[in-house]
Amino acid sequence: MKTWHKVGIGLGAAALVGGIVLFSINQANKGVVTVQTAKVAKLDSLVSQVTASGEVKPTTYTNITAQGFGRITEILVKEGDHIKKGDKLLLQDNVQANADVQAQDAAINSGESSVQAADASYKAAQSDLLTQEANLEKAKLDYDRGQGLYKDGLIAKQDYDQRKTTYDAAVATVEASKARMLAQKAQLDQVRAQLNQSKAVLVHTKDVLSKTTYYSPINGIVSYLPVRMGEYVVPGIQNATGSFLMTLSDMSVVTSEVKVDETDIVNVKIGQDADVTIDAVPGKVFKGKVTEIGSQAVLRSSGLATTQTTTSNQEAKDFKVVVTLEDPPENLRPGLSTTAKIKTAERKDVIGIPIQALAVRSRKDLEEAAKNSKKSGNVTLAAPPPPAAGDPKKDEVQGIFVVNGKKAIFRPVETGISGVTDIEITKGLQSGDEIVVGSYKALRTLKPEAMIKVDNSAPKKTEDSQ
């Protein structure tokens, strides 16, 4: 046999053996899933947080609106100024209001003079009545004596008639004096009422005048000032609001008002701690506490409360949550963007695993895997627990894939609180168990009792395209 024949036969035999080896390896690795694993360990602390964004808002603020008609004649503050309660803020045209006050002052002076004159006339009428009553008493005595003397025949009929006439005239004079006194009293009451009316009008005109000067009702800063000197402003009428002048904010107590998703609001409680970051103050975290939780959902797109809409809406909703900062910086301004991380729960010394390791499988798949395990004589997977009564997820079971030799065994677990990256396992795992934690694609399709290959090497970095 020639040499080249021998070489050809040798190469053919080697190729055949290589093919058989490759075929064997391929068959052995058929159905094997490459996974990443990790050991279960206890965590010193696991914190559950709700993260929400919002803005800085003061606890106390007030919007100053126009109180009367007129032009702005002077603005005494500017945005960012610190002001105290009672400080002057703005002046409005007051020529007409000032003239009305002066005219009413003059009317009151005239009214007071009228009251004095009417009071003097009333007192004169009272004195005249007293005089006429004294004259009546004297005339009555003369008439009574004249009656006795006339009966005794001691005076003439003419003298008796004269005394009677004098008495009757005195009675009429007294009645006339009483009438004059009552008239003077009525006149006095009238001018007094007019004076009181003028004083009430003066209060009104002074109030109108006072509203041309605006004072600060709180301590704080001028956080917004949209108007300019010379602008014409009008007060609110019925349902129309008046001209907006400025916003004053008391920054002594500052809050972060955030919007919490409806799925997280049930975990938020009054008094919970929160870490607040402010975009304008990078690198700093401010401590705070939840002080208010809204009871009405707000539509995320429009910001309107659900009670303000008449149609059914399935869009996402938020709830307002107020976090009061414990030590806010002095340079904060209302409206700055904030992010609050509210600590809703905390556990110490717990078994925790990466959240992505938690898987959900159908009860049917688990039952089939358990049957196949029994048939093969290698029982590694127990039947899934029976569904709880009324459980809306009775057809699904949550669990972890535990490494058992070269297989991934699905083990049902019970969970507790969730952190940012980890979740608490309250039942089903022990410290030291090796579990499948990746990749996401593998976990999504991994079946119970599947053959696995562990590869915990660091993933290769892809080169950036130039």
CB within 8 A of 139, min separation 6: which ones?
Answer: 163, 166, 167, 169, 170
Q: Report pTM.
A: 0.63
Q: How far is CA 223 from the centre of its chain?
A: 18
Smallest CA-to-CA distance from 323 within 358, 370, 290 is with 290
Enclosing H/E stretch for 410 = strand 407-412
Domains of the chain (ranges; CATH) run 31-46+350-454 (2.40.420.20), 50-60+254-347 (2.40.30.170), 96-210 (1.10.287.470)
Say how far apart CA 466 and CA 435 lie, in whole Å. 39
Amino acid at 384: P
Q: How confident is the model at residue 143 (pLDDT cuts 50, 70, 90)?
A: confident
Q: How does the average pLDDT of the chain come out, rounded?
A: 85
Say how far apart CA 299 and CA 318 lie, in whole Å. 6
In this predicted structure, the answer to whether residue 3 has a pLDDT above a threshold of 80 is no
Tell me the three state secondary structure of residue 261.
strand
Residue 434 half-sphere exposure toward CB, CA atoms < 13 A: 12
The predicted structure's pLDDT at residue 380 = 54
The predicted structure's pLDDT at residue 205 = 93
How many C-beta neighbours within 10 Å does residue 317 have? 19
In this predicted structure, the answer to whether residue 466 has a pLDDT above a threshold of 80 is no
User: Please, are residues 262 and 315 in contact by the beta-carbon 8 Å criterion?
Assistant: no
Cis-peptide into 439, omega within 30 deg: yes
**pLDDT tens string 366-421:** 777 777 666 655 545 555 566 655 554 457 888 999 998 888 889 899 999 988 88
The predicted structure's pLDDT at residue 9 = 63
Q: ∠ at Cα 165 (163, 167), nearest 5°?
A: 70
* Inter-CA distances, 233 with 125, 222, 243, 248, Å: 55, 19, 6, 18
**pLDDT tens string 224-259:** 999 999 999 998 877 778 899 999 998 888 999 999
Q: Between β-strands 33-39 and 450-454, what pairing exists: parallel, antiparallel or unpaired?
A: parallel
Backbone angles phi, psi at 154, to 5 degrees: -95, -15
* Inter-CA distances, 346 with 46, 184, 274, 280, 353, Å: 6, 87, 13, 29, 15
Cα first-last separation, the chain = 59
User: Please, are residues 169 and 162 in contact by the beta-carbon 8 Å criterion?
Assistant: no
The predicted structure's pLDDT at residue 285 = 94
Read off the DSSP letter of residue 311: S
Tell me the three state secondary structure of residue 209.
helix
Say how far apart CA 438 and CA 357 lie, in whole Å. 7
Backbone angles phi, psi at 415, to 5 degrees: -110, 160
Q: ∠ at Cα 168 (166, 171), nearest 5°?
A: 110
**pLDDT tens string 152-184:** 888 888 888 898 899 899 999 999 999 999 999
**pLDDT tens string 63-72:** 999 988 899 9
Backbone angles phi, psi at 299, to 5 degrees: -65, 135
Smallest CA-to-CA distance from 369 within 414, 389, 399 is with 399
Q: How confident is the model at residue 4 (pLDDT cuts 50, 70, 90)?
A: low
In this predicted structure, the answer to whether residue 13 has a pLDDT above a threshold of 70 is no
Say how far apart CA 379 and CA 369 lie, in whole Å. 10
Enclosing H/E stretch for 122 = helix 95-151
